[in-house]
Amino acid sequence: MKIKYLKLDKIDGPLIMLSGVKHATYDEIVDIEVAGQKPKKGRVVQIDRDKVIIQVFESTTGISLTNSSVAFSGKPMQIPLSKDILGRVFNGIGEPIDGAGFYAENKYEIGGRPINPVGRKYPRNYIQTGISSIDGLTTLIRGQKLPIFSGDGLPHNQLAAQIVKQAKIAEADAGNSNTENFAIVFAAMGIKHDEAEYFKKQFELSGVSSRVVMYVNLADEPIVERITTPRCALTAAEYLAFEHDMHILVIMTNMTSYCEALREISSAREEVPSRKGYPGYLYSDLASLYERAGMIKNAKGSITQIPILTMPNDDIAHPVPDLTGFITEGQIILSRELFQKNINPPINILPSLSRLMKDGIGEGYTREDHPDVANQVFSAYSHVKDVRALAQVIGEDDISEIDRKYMEFGRQFEQKLLNQGFDTNRNIEQTLNLMWELLTVLPKEELNRLNPELIQKYYKG
Amino acid sequence: MDSIKAKVIYINGPVVKAENAESFKMREMVQIGRKKLIGEIISIEKDIATIQVYEETSGLEWGEEVVSTDKPLCVKLGPGIIGNIFDGIERPLDRLYETGTAFIPEGIGLITIDKEKLWDVEITVKAGDMLLPGSTYATVKESSLIVHKLMVPPAIKGKAVFVEKSGKYNIEHTVVKLEGGNDVYELKLYQEWPIRDPRPVSRRKPIQTPLITGQRVIDTFFPLAKGGTAAIPGGFGTGKTITQHQLAKWSDADIIVYVGCGERGNEITEVLEDFPKLIDPRSGKSLMERTVLIANTSNMPVAAREASIYTGITIAEYYRDMGYNIAIMADSTSRWAEALREISGRLEEMPAEEGYPAYLPSRLAQFYERASDVETLSGENGSVTIIGAVSPAGGDFSEPVTQNTKRVVSSFLALDKSLAYARHYPAINWLNSYSGYIADLSDWYEENVAKDMLELRAKMLRILQEENKLMEIVKLVGEDILPDDQRLILEISRVIKIGYLQQNAYHKDDANVSPQKQYRMLSVINKLYERALDCIKNGVPISHVKKDDLFYKITTMKYNVPEDRLKLLDAMIEEIDEYYDSLKCKYGKGECKL
């Protein structure tokens, strides 16, 4: 017989406090019954002798000090999982919200244990997204965590939808057809109703709905569930990847809302704030999510993460993008300037980076010339920026002839390569050929990042 | 004496408090609860002790027992460390993996270096010998490169009353017994040492040898020193980790201790997959034969992250005491500082700058001061070089960790975002970086590289600085307007930047470059500059002086001259002479060899 505690000491935002508790374990789940409401769940976040602080999922609205009862379960939070989750929609604590019930024999803890670096497999194969700027210049690797840094109003959702629609796994280790062992786990944290609708519709239109699992916590839903949403999603991803050998693409949006939820709870707990009021453990907390991407030695599957975050005021030094960038393996940055020039997807390639790209491209993966040609395009485009700044001061007519060629390269690069729109799908061959075509705008002597053999083979200037 | 038992009364993440703990000591190691989680006492007030826990506290209950171990947090030092990978408190990760899961289980207790493995022990003392602290009593061939000396621990001395025969033993076997005063000490194949205490040495020596890294921008322009300290600060994406990896691969230390502190799991895996395959150019053996990895990735418990750099430096000091040169890479010290901040926040301490605790500067200084070039207790020479990566928030070097680190390190290799964006790697900014060791090392460079090495270095730096000033003008009015000698500065700077400072970590002839080749390359560039300048002074226009294919050839010499064919560089000097001789002749100023 479980003991139920009937009297609370304090209710503060999402937290309740009670005393006289005999057995409480740190991080366990509690069941809360409130008169006249459906049962709620909560989690133990602090124990001080017999006083316990509990974070309540859903909301604390309607709870009084005397109208509720609390029972301790003795277990950390778990969600049921089976392969039937594909195609279903759940809320932030893993309950189905698409009208049907869900039952599975096995339950999994959502906290997730850290992967032993010895047990990891280094990610080495790429995912073709069909987007030239990503495939060619910031290649996405299977098992990578590559966030999209965006700003409010920029088309990150369209970009994410395009990736989901076009993503194809290069099957070097063939055998399985693409569609069967490839699935998407979608975690929505604090996004708007219409954004959620947009994603649902896009998944349907592109015919991937049956391969998508969604965990949704909308902007007006309880913030405590926002903390568990990505953890449920990643637990589902680990289950599919490591128990069923599937390749999983996890889209997590919006990480900024997630961090704000964390800050809200932290301040309710009266914790000492660090930068911009975010809790001191923000880095560790984000790492506990992002580090769940990867591949392990004793399973064939992989977890690739694309977290999406909006940079408040487009400031990349804000704690959320900053700490994210230190954990993730690169970043894809969207630019308001390109967006206003009507270049879509507006990926600013210079600050964008894929750290794992070097080991997953080139001979045997994409094409032998890929690393060098990408390098050359980066260096040429970064020179374009200098030339443009100069041309703005002295006028385009007065710059040297070679710099005029760079200006032309920059224009063509943006128009032809970046501006492919949200519906064009280019394979890697097409992307690389396009990059060579752009480089022909420049004379051979300028191509100092390319070795002469490659120039001979591909340069057609 | 029975071990003291206290009771858990408070749990908040990695911070746990226990009552009935008045006899616990500061910094003592304790085991907590049924799972025997490992923790360390960090404050005591009346009968309540605060403990930082090195493992996940999920599932811990109020009232569980806290058991004292009566010793501070220690590492076991003995054979089995080299080539191994440990977590922040020296638990071997490969052994944890062998338990059958790719994830890190909890409550694994205290396991360290392998107790079962038999080592070939060669005893080097005989009964009756008087042994002093630090003297060697046996040796073990630990890897193909490292001979592990078993040394008498610092506080112990005495007469050998029992000596085992040479043979195969595991580390728990007592091989020597010492009688000193009224005590008998049993010496096994390991000793324990508290991680927060520096190991004693006989004396510290002044800095005199560089740590050769094979990286041109470092060895030529901003050298590191054996026994010195260096910081590599840079925002994300500027290539800190890759620079650290390059140093771990190519620097001429005997042993590398690589501490992955709060960094990415995949990066550690990359090291684990790459290093065994890479060949150390000096020994011809696999790099793993001289490498120790300490890995506490960002999602592993935060308190162990705080401990990991101390574990690393203690291991480094232990091997230093055997007379080796050690380089320890800490990637990244900012993560360590954040771990301090996180724990400090949970302790509700008064925060200083940006939420960091007020003791951050003193902790940083204590850590970097453990770098040293020393004479060990047994009179040998050894050194520990510390190279710490710093990850300033937003790439802003004015934040507390970078500033406080800057005060205690002597080499500062500033990584630069805009260089990284242009894929100029290593993205070390030559204007902000500095090395405080130039004066200390000048003798070494003169003797071992060339008399005028440092002169050339200063000259090239001057050209780069000049270019920086000229670029301000160019940004306003364009390059064409400058006089020819200034345009030459720009052209030569381009050659230095692309042909010398940029170094391709993945090219077989470029990843690692000897100081001799560095000097010869620098001489080629100098020759080019001097001859070109001479022509310009004689009225030859820049359009002719800058011969594209000659400049191209010099810019790409780094790829085309292998270490064993440095003569090719002499040929290049001849080619330069030939071209400018003929040019001068054409303009009627020089001697014509017709």
Question: Would the CB atoms of A28 and B59 count as touching at under 8 Å?
Answer: yes
Could you tell me if B201 and B217 are in contact, meaning their C-beta atoms sit under 8 angstroms apart? no
Pairing state of beta strands B434-435 and B411-412? antiparallel
Euclidean distance between CA atoms A377 and A374, whole angstroms: 5
Question: Any CB–CB contact under 8 A between B84 and chain A?
Answer: no
- B325-377 pLDDT, tens per residue? 999 999 889 999 989 988 888 888 888 888 899 999 999 999 999 999 999 99
Euclidean distance between CA atoms B546 and B569, whole angstroms: 19
Question: Any CB–CB contact under 8 A between A280 and chain B?
Answer: yes
Question: Would the CB atoms of A280 and B342 count as touching at under 8 Å?
Answer: yes
From B166's Cα to the closest Cα of chain A, the distance in A is 34
What radius of gyration, in Å, describes the C-alpha atoms of chain B? 28
Question: Any CB–CB contact under 8 A between B60 and chain A?
Answer: yes
B-facing residues of A in 230-249 (CB < 8 A) are 242
pLDDT exceeds 80 at position B385 = yes
Which of A287, A297, A390 faces B298 most closely, judged by CB atoms?
A287
Local confidence band at A178 (pLDDT 50, 70, 90 cut-offs): low
CA B486 remoteness from chain centre: 40
Residue of A78, A297, A320, A326 to mutate when probing chain B, most B C-beta within 10 A: A326
Q: At what angle do helices B400-408 and B333-346 cross, to 10 degrees?
A: 120
- B195-246 pLDDT, tens per residue? 999 999 999 999 999 999 999 999 999 999 999 999 999 887 788 888 888 9
Chain A positions in Cβ-Cβ contact with residue B97 (cut-off 8 Å): 116, 118-119
The answer to whether the Cα torsion of A47, A48, A50, A52 is positive or negative is negative
- A271-313 pLDDT, tens per residue? 888 888 999 889 999 999 999 999 999 889 999 999 999 999 9
Burial A90-108 (b: 16+ CB within 10 A, else e): bbbbbeeeeeeebeeeeeb
- B125-144 pLDDT, tens per residue? 999 999 999 999 999 999 99
**Mean pLDDT in chain B?**
91
Chain B positions in Cβ-Cβ contact with residue A406 (cut-off 8 Å): none
Q: What is the largest CA-CA distance in chain A?
A: 87
Q: From A278, which residue of chain B is nearest by alpha-carbon distance? A: B355
ipTM given for this complex? 0.86
Question: Any CB–CB contact under 8 A between B268 and chain A?
Answer: yes
Residue A240, number of CB atoms within 10 A of its CB: 23
Question: Would the CB atoms of A48 and B9 count as touching at under 8 Å?
Answer: yes
Q: Cβ neighbours of residue B62 under 8 Å, at least 6 residues apart?
A: A21, A23, A24, A47, A49, A50, B8, B9, B11
pLDDT exceeds 60 at position A44 = yes
pLDDT exceeds 60 at position A61 = yes
- A249-268 pLDDT, tens per residue? 999 999 999 999 999 999 88
Task: Tell me the helix, strand and coil percentages in chain A, rounded to 5.
Answer: 40, 25, 40
Question: Any CB–CB contact under 8 A between B491 and chain A?
Answer: no
- pLDDT recorded at residue A170: 65
Question: Would the CB atoms of A379 and B422 count as touching at under 8 Å?
Answer: yes
Pairing state of beta strands B176-180 and A353-354? unpaired
Question: Would the CB atoms of B266 and A356 count as touching at under 8 Å?
Answer: yes
Question: Would the CB atoms of A272 and B345 count as touching at under 8 Å?
Answer: yes
From B267's Cα to the closest Cα of chain A, the distance in A is 8
B-facing residues of A in 254-273 (CB < 8 A) are 271-273
Pairing state of beta strands B229-233 and B372-375? unpaired
Local confidence band at B590 (pLDDT 50, 70, 90 cut-offs): low
What is the amino acid identity at position B465?
Q
Pairing state of beta strands A247-253 and A353-354? unpaired
Local confidence band at A176 (pLDDT 50, 70, 90 cut-offs): very low
Q: Cβ neighbours of residue B579 under 8 Å, at least 6 residues apart?
A: B547, B550
Question: Any CB–CB contact under 8 A between A445 and chain B?
Answer: yes
Chain A positions in Cβ-Cβ contact with residue B297 (cut-off 8 Å): 114, 117, 287, 291
Among A17, A96, A59, smallest CA distance to A223 is for A59
- pLDDT recorded at residue B1: 44
CA A290 remoteness from chain centre: 8
- pLDDT recorded at residue B500: 95
Bridge partners (DSSP) of residue B389 are B232
- pLDDT recorded at residue A91: 93
- A357-372 pLDDT, tens per residue? 988 898 888 899 999 9
Residue with tokens 């073990």, as numbered in its chain: B140
From A449's Cα to the closest Cα of chain B, the distance in A is 9
- pLDDT recorded at residue A175: 45
Q: What is the mean pLDDT of residues B257-268?
A: 90
Question: Any CB–CB contact under 8 A between A116 and chain B?
Answer: yes
pLDDT exceeds 70 at position B4 = no
Euclidean distance between CA atoms B444 and B209, whole angstroms: 6
Q: Give the angle A50-A55-A61 at the CA atoms, nearest 5°.
A: 115
Question: Would the CB atoms of A271 and B9 count as touching at under 8 Å?
Answer: no
Chain B positions in Cβ-Cβ contact with residue A113 (cut-off 8 Å): 101, 103-106
User: Which of A155-159, B420-424, B549-553 is most confident?
Assistant: A155-159
The answer to whether the Cα torsion of B428, B433, B436, B440 is positive or negative is positive
Question: Would the CB atoms of A350 and B477 count as touching at under 8 Å?
Answer: no
The tokens for B384 are 């520990």
Domains in chain A, CATH or no CATH each: 4-75 (2.40.30.20), 79-358 (3.40.50.12240), 370-458 (no CATH)
- B164-178 pLDDT, tens per residue? 999 999 999 999 999
- B278-330 pLDDT, tens per residue? 888 778 889 899 999 999 998 888 888 999 999 999 999 999 999 999 999 99
Instruction: Please report the beta strands in B94-228, taking only residues with DSSP state E, as ranges in sequence order.
Output: 119-123, 130-131, 136-141, 147-151, 158-163, 167-169, 176-180, 183-187, 191-194, 203-204, 210-211, 224-225
pTM for the model: 0.90
pLDDT exceeds 80 at position A174 = no
Query: Is the bond leading into B200 cis (omega within 30 degrees of zero)?
Result: no
Q: What is the mean pLDDT of residues B493-505?
A: 93
Distances (CA, A) of A382 to A379, A397, B402, B471: 5, 21, 28, 16
Question: Would the CB atoms of B102 and A279 count as touching at under 8 Å?
Answer: no
Q: From A21, which residue of chain B is nearest by alpha-carbon distance? A: B62
Residue A120, number of CB atoms within 10 A of its CB: 23
Chain B positions in Cβ-Cβ contact with residue A275 (cut-off 8 Å): 354-355, 393
Which of B12, B61, B478 faces A24 most closely, judged by CB atoms?
B61
Question: Any CB–CB contact under 8 A between B423 and chain A?
Answer: yes
Could you tell me if B494 and B471 are in contact, meaning their C-beta atoms sit under 8 angstroms apart? no
- pLDDT recorded at residue A37: 87
Question: Any CB–CB contact under 8 A between A119 and chain B?
Answer: yes
Euclidean distance between CA atoms A154 and A133, whole angstroms: 17
Neighbour-count burial of B188, counting CB atoms closer than 10 A to its CB (0-12 exposed, 13-18 middle, 19+ buried)? middle
pLDDT exceeds 50 at position B12 = yes
Pairing state of beta strands A148-150 and A330-333? parallel
Cβ contacts from A onto B, under 8 A: 224
The tokens for B570 are 């002499």
Local confidence band at B409 (pLDDT 50, 70, 90 cut-offs): very high
Specify the DSSP element, H or E, that contains A27.
Answer: none
Q: Cβ neighbours of residue B26 under 8 Å, at least 6 residues apart?
A: B41, B42, B43, B44
Local confidence band at B524 (pLDDT 50, 70, 90 cut-offs): very high
Local confidence band at A270 (pLDDT 50, 70, 90 cut-offs): confident
Residue A460, number of CB atoms within 10 A of its CB: 9
Chain B positions in Cβ-Cβ contact with residue A316 (cut-off 8 Å): 394
Local confidence band at A405 (pLDDT 50, 70, 90 cut-offs): very high
Chain A positions in Cβ-Cβ contact with residue B104 (cut-off 8 Å): 113-116
Could you tell me if A117 and B85 are in contact, meaning their C-beta atoms sit under 8 angstroms apart? yes
Q: Please tell me whether residue A396 adopts helix, strand or coil conformation.
A: helix
Chain B positions in Cβ-Cβ contact with residue A322 (cut-off 8 Å): 236, 393-394
Q: From A112, which residue of chain B is nearest by alpha-carbon distance? A: B103
Residue A35, number of CB atoms within 10 A of its CB: 11
Question: Any CB–CB contact under 8 A between B467 and chain A?
Answer: no
Percent of chain A exceeding pLDDT 70 equals: 97
Chain A positions in Cβ-Cβ contact with residue B107 (cut-off 8 Å): none
Could you tell me if B15 and B8 are in contact, meaning their C-beta atoms sit under 8 angstroms apart? no
Could you tell me if B490 and B482 are in contact, meaning their C-beta atoms sit under 8 angstroms apart? yes
Euclidean distance between CA atoms A49 and B440, whole angstroms: 59
- pLDDT recorded at residue A16: 92
Could you tell me if B172 and B127 are in contact, meaning their C-beta atoms sit under 8 angstroms apart? no
The answer to whether the Cα torsion of A82, B35, B58, B360 is positive or negative is negative
- B20-62 pLDDT, tens per residue? 988 888 888 899 988 888 888 988 888 899 998 888 888 898 8
pLDDT exceeds 60 at position B84 = yes
Could you tell me if A159 and A345 are in contact, meaning their C-beta atoms sit under 8 angstroms apart? yes
Q: At what angle do helices A370-394 and A401-412 cross, to 10 degrees?
A: 120
CA B266 remoteness from chain centre: 19
Residue B336, number of CB atoms within 10 A of its CB: 27
Question: Would the CB atoms of B97 and A400 count as touching at under 8 Å?
Answer: no
Question: Any CB–CB contact under 8 A between A136 and chain B?
Answer: no
Question: Would the CB atoms of B236 and A111 count as touching at under 8 Å?
Answer: no
From A10's Cα to the closest Cα of chain B, the distance in A is 18
pLDDT exceeds 90 at position A139 = yes
Question: Any CB–CB contact under 8 A between B294 and chain A?
Answer: no
Question: Any CB–CB contact under 8 A between B344 and chain A?
Answer: yes
Local confidence band at A230 (pLDDT 50, 70, 90 cut-offs): very high
Could you tell me if B415 and B357 are in contact, meaning their C-beta atoms sit under 8 angstroms apart? no
Neighbour-count burial of B79, counting CB atoms closer than 10 A to its CB (0-12 exposed, 13-18 middle, 19+ buried)? buried
- pLDDT recorded at residue A173: 46
Euclidean distance between CA atoms A29 and A45, whole angstroms: 10
Question: Would the CB atoms of A26 and B11 count as touching at under 8 Å?
Answer: yes
Could you tell me if A405 and A442 are in contact, meaning their C-beta atoms sit under 8 angstroms apart? yes
From A370's Cα to the closest Cα of chain B, the distance in A is 14
CA B139 remoteness from chain centre: 26
B-facing residues of A in 345-364 (CB < 8 A) are 350-351, 353, 355-356, 358-359
Pairing state of beta strands A168-169 and A126-128? antiparallel
- pLDDT recorded at residue B589: 62
